[in-house]
Structure 1
Amino acid sequence: ILHQDISTNNIMWRRTVSSHPRGVLNDSDLSSFREDTGTSSVQCTGTLPYMAYEFFDDDENGHPRKHLYRHDLESIFYVILLLCC
């Protein structure tokens, strides 16, 4: 499953008395299965500061880029970068 909108607003942490912190990724209204063909939207969607750099430009045919797992990984990198600064 590709989330397609990973940001600090979509990550929640919970700590119980008897366990370590646990995280959950919420707001999955833009998510899709990896096997889906094409894009789910004509417009680029997501939270701007955490979007993969590749989405700021269309592909060589002028079409929106297909969301790949590496784009979610890039968004996670930006979240971690922000938390470390």
Structure 2
Amino acid sequence: HKWLYDHPRILHRDISTSNMMWRRTVDGHLRGVLNDFDLSSFRDDTGTSSVESRCTGTLPYMTYELFIDHENGNPRKHLYRHDLESIFYVVL
């Protein structure tokens, strides 16, 4: 996830158990891979696209802050820390 944020500058915006895969490398290490980028956005987008203006994510893994603000009619810009919170919920 950090590599996606730093290099192609992408926010996934829908991290859940369904959007994570695991693979074992030749030397036996386990690597996590994110898939399903249909709701992702470039981190420097201005927020004008339809995806950017919508509250996205799989409900059990969605960050509380984004969910509550959307319900109150005050949608917030999706940030890196929101993706990290979703990863935390996956680990739980």
TM-score band by shorter chain is 0.7 to 0.9
1:74 aligns with 2:82: no
CA offset at residue 42 of structure 1? 4.0
Q: Which has the higher helix share?
A: 2
Q: What's the C-alpha RMSD, in Å, of the aligned pairs?
A: 2.1
**Distance in 1 separating the partners of 2:25 and 2:53:** 42
TM-score under structure 2 length normalisation: 0.74
Look up the equivalent residue of 1:34 and give its one-letter code. Answer: R
> 1:43-65: CA deviations, max 9, x gaps?
32210000001012237x94311
Contact 2:11-2:42 within 8 A present in 1 as well:
yes
Unaligned 5+ segments in structure 2 are 1-9
2:4 is matched with none
Please point out which of 44, 68, 71 is paired with 1:35. 44
Closer, same or farther in 2 for the Cα pair 1:62/1:19, shift >3 Å?
A: same
TM-score under structure 1 length normalisation: 0.79
**Distance in 2 separating the partners of 1:29 and 1:73:** 18
1:46 aligns with 2:57: yes
Aligned length: 80
**Distance in 1 separating the partners of 2:90 and 2:23:** 18
Identical counterparts, % of pairs? 77
**Distance in 2 separating the partners of 1:36 and 1:16:** 34
Which structure: larger Rg? 1
1:22 is matched with 31
Structure with greater contact order relative to length (CA < 8 Å, sep ≥ 6): 1
